[in-house]
Amino acid sequence: MKQSIGFIEFCNAFDAYGRSEQFSYEAQRALFDYLEDYEESTGEELELDVIALCCDYSEESPADIIRSYSIDIDDEADSDLVYDIVLHHLQENAGMAIALDNGMILYQPY
């Protein structure tokens, strides 16, 4: 038996596990929407596992992602171009990558 939850319950589950600081509000919203879209497109119901989500997804700045994955970026590139290059790199290599309004990127590490 599975129970459907809304965004508030999704956020409350992170709070209950002491993981409310794991993702920003923007990232939690994007992750919730991504998972709902996944369920809708595949017909597969997902079980909410906060710890697994914290292990399977990351929210990082482009600079941190560049360091983590040694992405080759021209030092002269402006910040918008850098953001686009990093996002494209993740979309090509990671399970998913979503640009967030706060300048961070939510993605599935590879």
* Mean pLDDT score across all residues of the chain: 95
pLDDT beyond 70 at 1: no
- The pLDDT of residue 75: 81
pLDDT at 45 over 80: yes
Mean pLDDT across 80-92? 95
pLDDT at 42: 96
Tell me the pTM: 0.91
Task: Give the amino acid at 108.
Answer: Q
Q: Please give the order of strands across the beta sheet that includes 97-99.
A: 58-60, 105-107, 97-99
Place of tokens 């038996």: 1
> Can you tell me the mean pLDDT for 48-56?
97
Distance CA(4)–CA(10), nearest Å, equals 10
Measure the CA–CA gap between 5 and 77, rounded to whole angstroms. Answer: 42
| Closest by CA position to 63, among listed 24, 108, 105, 33 | 105
Instruction: Tell me the domain boundaries of the chain.
Output: 7-107
